[in-house]
């Protein structure tokens, strides 16, 4: 069976460096850090007091007052990015697509954590009768997909993926497959996360996953650098509109890039640590490249998972070297988490959107804060300054606690 081709026709984003795609893209190419001291709660007593927060976000631009009140922040971010993406694709008025041939898959690693914290406080302070009747639908991770499907009357495949930091990459991979296999013609897909909360910061800090450079927060996220000491927590959302190629061409849609391959594997190794030498990541990259019909020499860019943790960056480097062999010498790698922070369940979607833009525009965003080379991390990480380069094909890596690995492959369109 000939697989149907899938292209990206719409993008939307709410990130720590911009509340839309254009602003985010400009900031990334300029090497702008999204890190700052935490404003969402009093972090003065915490070991980590900074994060990459979304700034100046107004959900009222995308939802009415009642909808905002009944939606956790992660779902508000998802709705904003979805509205942007559908408008960008030319679907903003709800026409141009068949409802039962349009689906929604939006991943979130944690869901409505802030709502959970707030309602637990209500329970402890005022008793069970005061828990909001909207608590459960506000908290559950699938509600962003549900809300977006209702907004756009999308009646095709509709669900959430939950696989920690690989959540939205799995969502996009599943959406890609749904179109390939004929289950849908249009998919609204991506991820959302809003976990700059007391419990998340405290929990990640206590497991020693976060950087503690409170006095150097703008440079704390330093993937692949020898002095890296943990990731910086981020938040936000990115949504992509994926579309079957002929469907897009028939309506004259603008195309960012073609999604060409999807590889998903499991480490079966450890709760939080990657498998030695990135063994699972290697298999994910290989599967995505085989799926896309790519050989190493055809790939010009890898948007790395690149978390700024000692273990991830070393093992991802080893994985990339194992997969690309001699071709690794001509490869550009970068971690945009150096600017956005680690957006957890939203990271894969943001980074695939970035990868699609890189392929379209021939520009590779940098890995900022890279100043002290690590002898064991010796790839071209596009340090500190964006570069221009024609890219035929690129990969985006996403790995999650629990051993979840996803690689998505994109190609320039037209080839």
Residue 37's pLDDT is what?
98
Q: Distance between CA atoms of 303 and 236, rounded to whole angstroms?
A: 18
Q: Could you confirm whether 270 is annotated as catalytic?
A: no
pLDDT in tens, 93-110: 999 999 999 999 999 999
Q: Which of 52, 165, 170, 247 is catalytic?
A: 165
Q: Which tokens belong to 104?
A: 């929604």
Residue 1 confidence (pLDDT) above 70: no
Residue 2, pLDDT > 90, answer no
**pLDDT of 134 above 70:** yes
Q: What is the pLDDT of residues 12-54, one digit of tens each?
A: 999 999 999 999 999 999 999 999 999 999 999 999 999 999 9
165 belongs to the catalytic site: yes
Active-site option among 170, 247, 342, 404: 342
Instruction: Place 123 in a pLDDT band, splitting at 50, 70 and 90.
Output: very high
Q: Is the pTM of this model over 0.95?
A: yes
Contacts of 362 (CB under 8 A, 6+ apart): 388, 389, 390, 391
CA distance linking residue 140 with residue 103, whole number of Å: 19
3-class secondary structure, 388: strand
Q: Inform me whether the pLDDT recorded for 79 exceeds 70.
A: yes
* Mean pLDDT of all residues in 220-229: 98
| Cβ-Cβ contacts under 8 Å for 380 (sequence gap 6 or more) | 331, 332, 333
**Using one digit for the tens of pLDDT, what is the confidence trace for 298-328?**
999 999 999 999 999 999 999 999 999 999 9
Q: What CA–CA distance (Å, rounded) separates 186 from 46? A: 44
Question: Among 170, 247, 305, 404, which one carries the catalytic annotation?
Answer: 305
How high does pLDDT run on average in the chain? 97
Would you call 342 a catalytic residue per the annotation?
A: yes
């Amino acid at each position: 069976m000939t697989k149907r081709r899938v292209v990206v026709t719409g993008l939307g984003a709410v990130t720590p460096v911009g509340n839309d795609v254009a602003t985010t893209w400009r900031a990334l190419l300029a090497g702008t850090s999204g890190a700052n001291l935490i404003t969402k709660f009093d972090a003065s007593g915490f070991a980590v007091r900074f994060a990459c927060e979304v700034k100046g976000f107004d959900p009222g631009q995308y939802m009415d007052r009642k909808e905002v009140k009944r939606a956790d922040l992660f779902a508000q971010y998802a709705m904003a990015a979805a509205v942007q993406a559908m408008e960008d694709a030319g679907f903003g008025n709800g026409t141009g697509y068949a409802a039962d041939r349009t689906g929604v898959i939006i991943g979130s690693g944690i869901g409505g954590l802030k709502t959970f914290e707030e309602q637990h406080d209500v329970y402890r302070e005022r008793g069970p009768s005061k828990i909001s009747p909207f608590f459960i639908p506000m908290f559950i991770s699938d509600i962003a997909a549900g809300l977006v499907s209702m907004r756009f009357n999308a009646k095709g495949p509709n669900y959430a993926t939950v696989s920690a930091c690989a959540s939205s990459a799995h969502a996009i991979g599943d959406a890609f497959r749904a179109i390939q296999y004929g289950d849908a013609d249009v998919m609204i897909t991506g991820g959302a996360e809003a976990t700059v909360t007391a419990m998340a910061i405290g929990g990640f800090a206590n497991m020693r996953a976060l950087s503690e450079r409170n006095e150097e927060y703008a440079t704390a996220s330093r993937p692949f650098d020898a002095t890296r000491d943990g990731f910086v927590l981020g938040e936000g959302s990115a949504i992509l509109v994926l579309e079957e190629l002929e469907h897009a061409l028939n309506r004259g849609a603008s195309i960012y890039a073609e999604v060409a391959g999807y590889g998903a594997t499991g480490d079966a190794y450890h709760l939080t640590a990657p498998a030695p030498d990135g063994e699972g990541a290697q298999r994910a990259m290989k599967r995505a490249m085989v799926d896309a019909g790519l050989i190493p020499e055809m790939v010009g860019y890898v948007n790395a998972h690149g978390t700024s943790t000692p273990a991830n960056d070393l093992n991802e480097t080893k994985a990339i070297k194992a997969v690309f062999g001699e071709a690794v010498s001509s490869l550009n790698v970068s971690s945009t988490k150096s600017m956005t922070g680690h957006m957890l369940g939203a990271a894969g979607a943001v980074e695939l959107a970035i990868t699609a833009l890189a392929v379209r525009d021939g520009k590779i965003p940098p890995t900022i804060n890279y100043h002290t080379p690590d002898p064991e991390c010796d790839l071209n990480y596009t340090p500190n300054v964006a570069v221009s380069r024609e890219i035929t094909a690129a990969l985006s890596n996403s790995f999650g606690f629990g051993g979840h690995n996803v690689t998505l492959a994109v190609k320039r369109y037209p080839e």
